């Protein structure tokens, strides 16, 4: 049973509103990778043409880049539905970053291959002869060039996404765009020291000692938590 703010508990959300809410969630989910890769692919197209001496940028090349970004966005949306993607969420940060980047990269590879198959079937009206056409017209150099850059972009995107999830959703945006750097450096240093101290208190005392208001461990832990609360405000 689905409810939304403004509805009473137990009240069923109408079908059209459930569909709208689902579509909105999926749209918000797919937009960050799509926009990121649209910018990345357009940058690749521009630098590639500069290297080749083609200074007059054609709109068609950038439209292909944006279309490719949509393919990446859809692949990320599908990959995020896979339960095995969270396998290394509790491991050191480098492991989920590398694992998810490779998974995303693999899903994009499959999506690009299926897109090529679909285009061939629509043009020729049959699947027979696809691999012969692939062998005759496929450019491995171009394919590897694009796939290498897709992997690099995924490493950047996944690193940012994992840091954002670690710090709290939206926190990375605030760090880059809304908070003063001097205040951020000061509060970050204080928080790290407080969290390290709190971790030492938790590891060095029993649960009973932490619950006892008269124990030094309880008083010290509460003092650290109060300092973190003041820093947050």
Residue recorded with tokens 């008269």: 214
Neighbours of 143 (CB within 10 A): 12
Q: What angle do CA 78, 95, 145 make, to 5 degrees?
A: 65
**pLDDT mean over 62-68:** 71
Average pLDDT over residues 123-139: 77
- pTM (2 d.p.): 0.61
Query: Which pLDDT score, from 0 to 100, does residue 98 have?
Result: 92
Q: What is the dihedral of CA 41, 44, 46, 47, to 10 degrees?
A: 170
> Of 151, 147, 20, 25, which is closest to residue 77 (Cα–Cα)?
25
Structural domain spans, the chain: 15-177, 181-232
Q: Which tens digit of pLDDT belongs to each residue from 149-198?
A: 888 888 998 888 888 877 766 777 777 777 665 555 556 667 767 777 87
Nearest to 142 by CA among 57, 61, 76: 61
Find out whether 204 and 210 touch, Cβ atoms under 8 Å. Answer: no
Q: What is the pLDDT of residue 8?
A: 52
């Amino acid at each position: 049973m689905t409810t939304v703010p403004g509805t009473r508990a137990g009240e069923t959300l109408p079908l059209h509103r459930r569909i709208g809410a689902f579509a909105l969630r999926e749209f918000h989910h797919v937009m960050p990778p799509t926009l990121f890769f649209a910018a990345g692919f357009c940058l690749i197209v521009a630098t590639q043409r500069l290297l080749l001496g083609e200074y007059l940028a054609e709109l068609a090349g950038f439209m292909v880049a944006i279309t490719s970004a949509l393919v990446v966005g859809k692949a990320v949306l599908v990959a995020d539905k896979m339960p095995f993607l969270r396998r290394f969420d509790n491991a050191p940060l480098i492991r989920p970053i590398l694992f998810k980047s490779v998974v995303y990269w693999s899903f994009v590879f499959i999506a690009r291959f299926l897109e090529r198959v679909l285009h061939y079937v629509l043009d020729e009206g049959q699947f027979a002869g696809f691999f012969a056409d692939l062998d005759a017209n496929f450019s491995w150099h171009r394919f590897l060039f694009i796939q290498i850059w897709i992997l690099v972009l995924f490493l950047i995107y996944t690193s940012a996404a994992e840091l954002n999830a670690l710090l709290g959703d939206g926190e990375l945006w605030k760090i880059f765009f809304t908070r003063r750097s001097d205040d951020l450096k000061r509060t970050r240093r204080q928080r790290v020291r407080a969290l390290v101290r709190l971790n030492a208190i938790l590891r060095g005392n029993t649960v009973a000692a932490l619950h006892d208001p008269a124990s030094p461990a309880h008083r010290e832990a509460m003092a650290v938590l109060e300092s973190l609360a003041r820093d947050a405000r």
